[in-house]
Structure formats: C-alpha cells, structure tokens
C-alpha cells in the first residue's frame, strides 16, 4: 500500500457524506481525506463528526482534515483523530510550528501531520513549519491562499510560492509537498497541465476534489516508461563504469545516478 509520504493523489470526501466513502476508496486514490472542514457546513459539523466516528469504529480508514486550531470544533475533531483507522491529519490554516505542536498533544505520537499552507503567515513561516517534529509533508492550499492575497490565476502567479514549499521541504528533510486542487472537474486538459507542472516544480502529489481527477493525477506523477527505461540503463551502465561516463552523448555522474535510483524507487512505491 502507498504510504502517506509517497502518495500521489489525496482525494477529499465530505465527512458528512458517509455513503461516498466506499466510492472514494475505490477511485484509485492513494489517500482518502475524510473532510470535517471546508466540505462541511457549519451547521453540520457535529453530525459529520458523528458519522466519521461511526465509520472509524466500524473499521473504516483514511486521513482526516480537522477544523483549524482557532475554531470551536478543533478539540472534538482532534480527539476523534486518536481512533484506529486515522492514517494522518491534515491541519488547515497552519501558520507556525506551534500549531503542529498543539495538535500533536491531542494525537497518538505516531500520527503524521500534513499542514496546509494557505495563508500569508503560513507561507512566511513555511520553513519553520516544515522543520517541526511530526510533519510528514507540506500541502499547498492554493484556493484560500489566492483569496487572501488577491491573486488571480493558478499558474505563473503562484510559481514563486510553490517553489517555496518545495525548497522548505527539501531543507527540512521531509518528502516532496502536495499541490493544491484544480477546481475545474470537467477540464481534463487543465488538470493534466496543472499536474505535470507541479511534478516539474518538485511536488510529489496533488489534492483531488472528485474521483474522476484521480487517474489523470496518478499518471502525471508516475515517471514515464521512457524515463524509467533510461533510469534502468543508467544503473546498468554504472555497474561496469566507475566514476563519470557518457550515455547517449550525455554525462552521467553521481547525481545523475542518484536521480535514476530515485525514479525507480518512486515507481516501485507507487505500485498498488
């Protein structure tokens, strides 16, 4: 099974709609996020938490997006996340390392936390957040981030900020971050473009809001057959050629060999 740290696709499903849980798990998504926050109206928060409790108590599983630390629902959400079946916690509106420390006081010690960076304060403190104990990966909450900063567009307009998440993750020694959602469900070409751009920038996965988005995102974040064949040839040649050498007219040295090794490891980890 794909781990939280190497997952390509994270699919949201409202915790208030338990009839959709099975479909979400059958979609091919690496991780299902049972959402108590944005997908649930304020008046349905308690009912959604009760439905999620029943699902987990019956042997269900998934990540949980709780409501933010500054909301009245946070403590009850966090308490629920101590149940069996909770594979990790998505923490919205994370703005400092103390937010991670606060929620971890309510969780089992081994529960991974994925902070959502979706505010200006969170972006300013992203390196501190990435380096806080218990953080598995960063997640870019592009919709709320654009709204707060008044940014129009999800392409070049966010290039700098996406690179900040990739850089902070690498500096902290955690796995590649997870990119934000593509709101258009029917525009496959836009989803493919956004997914391929995220991968090129150094992201390791992407949030999805509908099961139909999962196959396209999985494909975009899986190394191509041509790239994997190249990686195999690099490693095969390296066995008999110590030091730097040429392959297909290009130099191969230690960093290139490490890249080929990482590609093959990624492909193996992505297998169901």
Domain boundaries, the chain: 4-220, 225-269
User: For residue 186, how many other CB atoms are within 10 A of its CB?
Assistant: 8
Mean pLDDT value of segment 3-21: 94
pLDDT at 212 over 50: yes
pLDDT at 1 over 50: no
Q: What's the pLDDT band for 2 if we cut at 50, 70, 90?
A: low
Give the per-residue pLDDT at 270.
Answer: 62
How far is the CA of 113 from the CAs of 109, 138, 229, 233, in angstroms?
10, 9, 35, 37
pLDDT at 199 over 80: yes
What confidence tens digit (pLDDT) does each residue in 66-84 have? 999 999 999 999 999 999 9
What confidence tens digit (pLDDT) does each residue in 30-60 have? 999 999 999 999 999 999 999 999 999 999 9
Instruction: Find out whether 64 and 34 touch, Cβ atoms under 8 Å.
Output: yes
Picking from 218, 168, 180, the residue whose alpha carbon sits closest to that of residue 7 is 218
Q: What is the DSSP letter of 135?
A: B
Q: Which class in CATH covers the domain with range 4-220?
A: alpha beta
Instruction: Find out whether 203 and 117 touch, Cβ atoms under 8 Å.
Output: no
């Amino acid at each position: 099974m794909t781990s939280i740290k190497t997952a390509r696709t994270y699919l949201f499903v409202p915790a208030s709609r338990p009839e959709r849980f099975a479909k979400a798990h059958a979609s091919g998504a690496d991780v299902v996020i049972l959402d108590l926050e944005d997908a649930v109206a304020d008046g349905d928060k308690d009912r959604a938490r009760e439905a999620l409790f029943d699902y987990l108590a019956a042997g269900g599983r998934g990540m949980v997006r709780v409501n933010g630390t500054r909301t009245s629902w946070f403590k009850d959400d966090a308490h629920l996340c101590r149940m069996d079946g909770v594979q990790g916690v998505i923490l919205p509106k994370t703005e400092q390392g103390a937010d991670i420390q606060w929620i971890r006081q309510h969780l089992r010690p081994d529960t991974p936390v994925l902070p959502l960076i979706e505010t200006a304060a969170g972006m300013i403190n992203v390196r501190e957040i990435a380096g806080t104990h218990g953080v598995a990966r960063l997640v870019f909450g592009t919709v709320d981030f654009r709204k707060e900063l008044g940014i129009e567009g999800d392409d070049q307009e966010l290039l700098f900020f996406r690179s900040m998440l990739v850089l902070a993750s690498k500096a902290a020694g955690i796995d590649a971050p997870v990119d934000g959602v593509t709101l258009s469900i029917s525009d496959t070409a836009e989803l493919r473009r956004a997914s391929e751009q995220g991968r090129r920038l150094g992201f390791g996965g992407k949030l999805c809001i509908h099961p139909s988005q999962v196959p396209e995102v999985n494909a975009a974040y899986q190394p191509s057959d041509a790239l994997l064949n190249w990686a195999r040839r690099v490693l095969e040649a390296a066995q008999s050629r110590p030091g730097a050498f040429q392959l297909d007219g290009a130099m191969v040295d230690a960093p290139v060999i490490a890249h080929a090794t990482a590609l093959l490891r990624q492909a193996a980890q992505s297998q169901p």
